[in-house]
Amino acid sequence: MLKVLPGPLKGAVAVLLILLNTLVFLPLLLLLAIVKLIVPIKPFRKVLSIVINGIAVYWIGYNNTLMDLFHKIHWDIRGAEKLSRQDWYFVSCNHQGWADIPIMQYVFNSRIPLLKFFLKKELMWVPLMGVAWWALDFPFMRRYTKEQIARNPALKGKDLETTRSACEKFRYTPVTVFNFMEGTRFTPEKHARQQSPYQHLLKPKAGGTAFVLGAMGDMLHTMLDVTIVYPQGRSSFWDFLCGRITEIVVHVNKIEIPQQFLGMDYSNDPEIRKAFHQWLAGMWEQKDALIESILKEKGVASKAAA
C-alpha cells in the first residue's frame, strides 16, 4: 500500500519517519558517547564503541526497511557476496547525487564494518555531532597547509604522523573508510569545466585517498571500488525519497591495493606520486568503460556527460 502513495506524499512520510527514527536513536547514542568520553578505561570504551556502532547499524537498518516498504526498486547488485564484517576496507564510489549515500548504506550495512569518513579535526567541536562522530570512531585528521609548513618546516609530515597515531585504535578493530574520489557530485557543467577525459566521471582527486592509505596503509589492504549506475538517469535525493528511481545497478570490484601505496609518503616521494596517479587513472578508465557497458546492457543510449 505504501508503494502506491503519490510521490510527494511518499517523500514527506519517508522524511518524517527517518526523522522520528533519528530522534529515538540519537539521544541514546549521545548519552553513551558522553559516558565514553568521561570514562577513560580502554576496555570499557571498546565495549561502548561496539554498542554505539550497533546503534548506528540499527538506525541504518530501519531506514533500509523504509526504503523497501516505500519503493519499488529493482536492485541489481553485483560483486557484494564475499564480504565480511571482520575485514578492513577502503571504499570509494563514483558520486552522482546525495542518493548515493543511502544506496551505499543499503548495500553494505551489516555486510562490512560501518562506513566511516575521514573528518577534519576541527569538526570534533561541532555541537552534538562532533561527540557523536568521535563516539562512532570516525577517524579525524589534521592537515597543515603549504603556507603553514613554509612558516614552520618542523610541521612537515606531522599531519600524517598525528593521523597515524589517532588511527592506532583501528589496528585491532575492523573498520571501513569511505571516500568519494571525485570530491564532488558529477554534473555536466563540472565535467566540461574539468575537461575530464572520462565520459561518465569527473577526474579522481588523488590527495585525499593518498592521505588515507598513507595513514592507515598497514591496516587497509583491500579496496572496494563501487560503481553506481542509474539506468533512468541521475535524479535528486527528493526524487529518490519519492520513489521515482525504480532501478539501481551497484557493481562492487574488490581490489588488493598495491603494496607500494600502503603507508606511502605521497607528498614527499615524486615517484610514488606519479605511480599512484597512473594507478588511479587506470582504475578510472575501467570504471568509465564499465558504466558505458552497463548502460548498453540496460538498453540506454548514453551521451557524453549525460
What average pLDDT does the structure give for the chain? 88
Q: Which residues of 158-185 are buried (b: 16+ CB within 10 A; e: fewer)?
A: ebbebbbeebeebeeeebbbbbbbbeee
For the stretch 65-84, pLDDT in tens is 988 988 889 999 999 988 99
User: What are the grid coordinates assigned to 20, written together?
Assistant: 522520528
For the stretch 151-198, pLDDT in tens is 777 666 666 676 777 777 788 889 999 999 998 999 999 999 999 999
Of the candidate ranges 46-50, 89-93, 161-165, the one whose mean pLDDT is the lowest:
161-165
Domains of the chain: 73-297 (3.40.1130)
Q: How confident is the model at residue 99 (pLDDT cuts 50, 70, 90)?
A: very high
Of the candidate ranges 6-10, 35-39, 153-157, 289-293, the one whose mean pLDDT is the lowest:
153-157
The helix or strand, by DSSP H or E, that contains position 151, with its residue range, turns out to be helix 146-151
